[in-house]
Amino acid sequence: MTAGKHVVVVGGGVLGVSTATHLQRDGVAVTLVTEGELADGASGRSLSWLNSAGTRSAAYHALRMAGIDRYRTLFAEDPTREWLRFDGGLHWSLDEDAMRARHRAEVAHAYDSKLVAPAEIPGLDPVAVPEVAVHNPGEGWVSLPHLIEHLAAEFTALGGEIVTGAGRASVTTAGGVATGVTTTGGQRFEADTVVVACGAATPSVVAELGVSIPDASPLSMLVLTEPAETGVKTVLNTPRVALRPNPGGTFALDHHWYEDRITEVADGTCSIDESVVKELAAEASALLDGGVTLTAASWKLGRKPIPGDGEPVFGELSAVPRCFVAFTHSGATLGLIAGELLAGEIRTGEPHPMLAPFRPDRFRP
């Protein structure tokens, strides 16, 4: 079934690299074409908290749990990896009723969720945290640039080809069926199947084919800190800052309260006043025990891919056969499972039932 099949995957983020690697593992020849470098989009500036916390549809929850399962398998393969950890997550909110409701909803579908005193979690300053929070011991985090490097090494060892710096790619068609891509760099790649995994640019890439996928991708920022000695291993989701450990004893920080203070110009370049970066680092420092101060070392800005209805978009475009899309919020949590299931669909031609609620066709008029 795979003999002679050639797939072009567009996009060097976690969804593109994961789909390409799963295809190549299954014996399908793949060329991965990306505009700039690998991990130069959202995957290079993601909090990448591995979770299915809060409330969502049963189908989305099941897919996310399968996503976490694949990360656990990868973790078990080598638990010493500094870039993939399962040390739990801690969430608290200013609205205690809402937080307790979230906990009850999590318990109702057997998500591991406990009410704890945050002061019991190592590394937190007892006077800076509330009396109660939700602890999710089964959660984890991944550094996506490291994961992408890991997958890309396997992909190329299996014979996959990576074309970076290709410029912007557009899908080509013949008789309405996808036939490959052309790039603004002047290259042309023929393919039996094309996968568009362009992060927040996915709606604009498929718009060229006359396909509409609503986009709600907001501007976002991820801050990486200098190394700091703290006892914090858990991912923290708090009212003013989200924090996770990061390789090298550093931390990754983000939130959304400053989104409207990010400005974007026509070429997609973004900027933010440095005072906001310092304020975010100060919010994180205020939570830590022992007077530890976190200092921002670097920060990255750009769109966080989110489909218009908030749900993942995975699968073949019925309007353009042989063109698949992968566009989702929570692409860190879904990165491995989405790549695996899409690769299976492309290889066998059989739709996977767990992706059925997330088809791009739901937006067709």
Ligand X SMILES: Cc1cc2nc3c(=O)[nH]c(=O)nc-3n(C[C@H](O)[C@H](O)[C@H](O)COP(=O)(O)OP(=O)(O)OC[C@H]3O[C@@H](n4cnc5c(N)ncnc54)[C@H](O)[C@@H]3O)c2cc1C
By CB under 6 A, name the binding residues for ligand X. Answer: 10-16, 34-36, 40-43, 45-49, 144, 168-169, 197-199, 201, 205, 220, 222, 254, 304-305, 328-333
Residue 162 Cα distances to 8, 156, 157, 284, 292, angstroms: 10, 7, 11, 38, 42
Tell me whether residue 2 or residue 73 sits nearer to ligand X (CB atom).
73
Which residue type is seen at 134?
V
What is the rounded distance in angstroms from the CA atom of residue 214 to the CA atom of residue 317?
A: 14
Tell me whether residue 225 or residue 330 sits nearer to ligand X (CB atom).
330
The number of beta carbons lying within 10 Å of the beta carbon of residue 214 is: 12
Nearest to 54 by CA among 344, 255, 330: 330
Question: What tokens appear for 312 in the block?
Answer: 């993942």
Tell me whether residue 322 or residue 329 sits nearer to ligand X (CB atom).
329
Q: What SS3 state is found at 320? A: strand
Residue 131 CB, nearest approach to ligand X (Å): 26
Question: What tokens appear for 102 in the block?
Answer: 């979230």
Tell me whether residue 36 or residue 130 sits nearer to ligand X (CB atom).
36
Residue 291 CB, nearest approach to ligand X (Å): 28
Residue 305 CB, nearest approach to ligand X (Å): 5
Residue 286 CB, nearest approach to ligand X (Å): 21
Tell me whether residue 242 or residue 289 sits nearer to ligand X (CB atom).
242
Residue 229 CB, nearest approach to ligand X (Å): 24
Q: Angle 14-25/144-157 helices, nearest 10 degrees? A: 30
